[in-house]
Amino acid sequence: MLGMLRGHVYIRAFVFILAGVTFQVSRDQAGLTWENYQQGIELWRRCKRIRSPYLGQDLELYPKKKFIGYAGMDQATVDLLTKGKSRIDMKESARWGYAMYITDNPAMAKFFSEWIKADAFGANAKTYVCALWARDGDLFNSIGKIWVPELGDLQTDNKHWDKAKTAWSQEDRDRRVAHWGVKTPYILFSRHHWMEDMPIPKNTRWNEMVVYPQIQDAMFLTYPMTHHQNEEKIKKAYVPFDQQIKTWNITVPDETWQDFKKHGEHFIKL
């Protein structure tokens, strides 16, 4: 959102991602400077570098495809994503910002395919468990990844905040993540606390993976599953994201290791 104000170019500190376009936010009101212009161009280049073209839904068309995980989704999102398009749902709870929320556990994705009805879409909505793939596994591996501690001050409350505050908190998160050495665009991982009726033992946590719209649009494939397909996956073992820390090059800061330890989660530090 570039505009002119009394002869100076300024950038509005508002919605930073729309329709796959990334906007720089100028928080200090310094306007468009050579420095933030350069940062904007750099970010645009990093976004461009991770693009793998959408060739349709036939998995055979993607020789370097890689299976990633599962997500619960509503019909409107499924309709767009299965056409190679992008969608940001602003009604759903989004504690790490507007994004596609993926889990490794197909039973947890089933839980969320129901939970999002009460959260956003209504009891009669049609929802799905979807399987998510990366079009190009090498590109997926090369993207910056961060595992953040499950701390409230890092999170967004989009259900109670206006859009400007929500966008601002994404900026804050990006800065914290940059401080930990991972630049935007990145994929974010976190443990998630237990809630009533979740298919895991009480008071244990599980893994979530947060894929922001630029990355979803640049390299993801979405396949809605039937109830039967979902049940078959639930019967089988899956590889949890915490066992991918090395292969996927996930940056895990000390604060996160402390957060794991505090919850009695003894993941192996590689």
Site string for ligand NAG, 57-96 (x = CB under 6 A): ----------------------------------------
At its nearest, how many Å lie between ligand NAG and the CB of residue 112? 28
Query: What string marks each residue from 100 to 129 as x (binds ligand NAG by CB under 6 A) or -?
Result: ------------------------------
Beta bridge partners of 186: 144
Q: What is the pairing mode between strands 127-134 and 66-74?
A: antiparallel
Contacting ligand NAG within 171-210 (CB under 6 A): 181-182
- Under 8 Å between Cβ of 229 and 223: no
Contacts with ligand NAG by CB under 6 A: the residue count is 6
Q: Which residue is nearest to ligand NAG (CB)?
A: 144
What is the SS3 assignment for 108?
Answer: helix
Question: In the numeric block, which tokens belong to residue 71?
Answer: 């997500």
Cβ closest to ligand NAG, residue 141 vs residue 243: 141
Pairwise CA distance, residues 169 & 207, whole Å:
22
Cβ of residue 235: shortest distance to ligand NAG, in angstroms? 34
Instruction: Identify the helix (H) or strand (E) that includes residue 4.
Output: strand 2-5
Residue with Cβ nearer ligand NAG (22 or 86)? 22
By CB under 6 A, residue 144 contacts ligand NAG: yes
Is residue 247 at the binding interface for ligand NAG, with CB under 6 A as the rule? no
d(C-alpha 23, C-alpha 248), whole Å = 27
Q: Of 142, 204, 247, 258, which lies in the binding site for ligand NAG, with binding defined by CB under 6 A?
A: 142
Please, which residue, 50 or 130, has the CB nearer to ligand NAG?
50
**Amino acid (one-letter) located at 1:** M
CA dihedral 32, 36, 38, 39 (to 10 degrees): -140
User: Does 47 contact ligand NAG by CB under 6 A?
Assistant: no
Q: Which is nearer to ligand NAG, 179 or 228 (CB)?
A: 179
Rounded to the nearest 5 percent, the helix, strand and coil shares of the chain are 35, 20, 45
Could you identify the residue written with the tokens 């929320």? 101
Smallest separation, CB 141 to ligand NAG (Å): 7
CA distance 70 to 81: 14
Residues that bind ligand NAG (CB under 6 A): 142, 144, 181-182, 249, 251
